[in-house]
Structure 1
Amino acid sequence: MHTGDWWWETQNTLPEGSTVVPIICASDGTHLTNFSGDKKAWPIYLTIGNIKSSVRSKPTGHSLILLVLLPVPPKLGKNSLANSALRRQSQMIFQSIRECSQEGELIACADGYERLCFLVLSGWIADQPENSNLQNISTSSCPRCEV
C-alpha cells in the first residue's frame, strides 16, 4: 500500500514529520442461528495499511481486530429505516477516526518516539451486495461505471 501514489500524495499534504495511518476495514454479514428467529450480525474488522500486506493478509498475522459487531435487522436490504440506522451507527463508530484525520493524534511508536499520526479511512473490503448497501446504491448497479 505504501508504494501507491495515493499514499505519497496524502503524505505530502500533512505537516512536516507527521505520518499517515491508512485504516482498512473489512466486513461480511454472518449468520448466527436458525433456532431463535434467524439472527444475523455484521462484524466490522479493522487493520492499518502500515503493516506489510504479507503479514496483514495472513490469519496467523493477527493484524485484524474486531471493531464492532452490529446486529442486522431482518430484511436489511429492503428497509430504508434499517439502512439509515446502519449509516448512523457507522458515523458514530468512525467519529474518532474522522477527528484524527483532521487534527492528528500523537501516538507512541515501537521505537519509543511519539509521532503525529493522521488516520485516514482508505479502504473497505466487502462483497458486492455489502458494498452496495454501504454506498446506498442498488445491488444491481454496475461496480465499474455509473449505470
Structure 2
Amino acid sequence: MYRFETAQPSYKGKNEFFDKVDALLGGVKWQCKEIDVKGDVPDLDKDPTGATMRGATVELWWRDPVECVRELIGNPMFRNAKRFAPEQLFVDETGEKRLPPGATIAPLLLSSDKTMLSNFRGDNSAWPVYLTIGKETRRRVSAHATVLIGYLPIPKFDCFEKNTRSLAKYRLFHQCMSVILACVVEAGKTGVKMVWADNFVRNV
C-alpha cells in the first residue's frame, strides 16, 4: 500500500499566483495607450452653453513590431523558408552600396481583417492588425508565420456629427498606426541587430 502526499501550491495567494503567471515566457508583451478623442457635438449635459464638446477615451493595445520580427526571424522552424542575405539583382554601381556589409532586409507586411472584429469590455470593439515578413511561409496558415501585433479601437464616434465621422475615423486610424509603427520607423533608419535562425547575427 502506497501513501500519496497532497502537493501544496508554491504561492500563498492570488496576487502571488498572478505574479508567477506573468513571469512565464509568453512572447512579446502587450502595451496599452489611452487616446482621448474630442468630438464636435456640444455636451449640453456638462455645459448648457454648448461651448464644451463631447469626447471619448479609447484604448489602443499593441505589441512591439520590431520584437515580433525578431521572434519570426529567429524561429528555427523557418530556417529553410527564407534567405539569410540579399542577392544581387541590380547592375548599377549605386545599387551595390545601398546595404552595408552584414546587413539584410526584412520586408514587413501588415494586414487587417474586418470580419475578425473583437469585442472588448462593454460595447467597445477593436480591429486586429497582423504582421508577417515577406517569405513564402506566410501563405501557410499552419506555419503561424503571421502574428497579431495590435487592436485598433473602433468607437461609435457618436461624439461627432454624421458628416465628420468618416474624417474622425481616418484620423484615429492613422494616429493609432503611428503609435504602433513608431519603433519600426526608428529601426528603418539604422537597422537592428537580430539573431537569425542560422545563429548568425545580422543588421536588419
Q: Name structure 2 gaps, 5 residues minimum.
A: 1-81, 159-163
1:72 to 123, 147, 154: 154
How far apart, in 2, do the equivalents of 1:11 and 1:71 lie? 43
Report the TM-score, using the length of structure 2 for normalisation: 0.45
1:57 to 117, 135, 139: 139
Matched residue type, 2:140: K
Matched, 1:90 2:177: yes
Please provide the CA RMSD for this pair.
3.0
Report the TM-score, using the length of structure 1 for normalisation: 0.61
Higher RCO by CA contacts (8 Å cutoff, separation 6 or greater): 1
Aligned to 1:44: 129
* Number of equivalenced pairs: 107
Aligned to 1:141: none
Matched residue type, 1:69: Y
How far apart, in 2, do the equivalents of 1:72 and 1:105 lie? 32
Q: Percent identity?
A: 25
Structure 1 moving runs of 4+ over 4 Å: 7-12
Structure 1 residue 106 displacement after superposition: 0.5
How far apart, in 2, do the equivalents of 1:74 and 1:97 lie? 29
How far apart, in 1, do the equivalents of 2:118 and 2:202 lie? 41
Structure 1 residue 63 displacement after superposition: 0.3
Matched, 1:20 2:111: no
Structure 1 residue 32 displacement after superposition: 4.2
Aligned to 1:115: 202
Change (3 A) 1:20 1:12: farther
Larger radius of gyration: 2
CA contact (8 A) 1:11 1:20 kept: no
How far apart, in 1, do the equivalents of 2:101 and 2:195 lie? 17
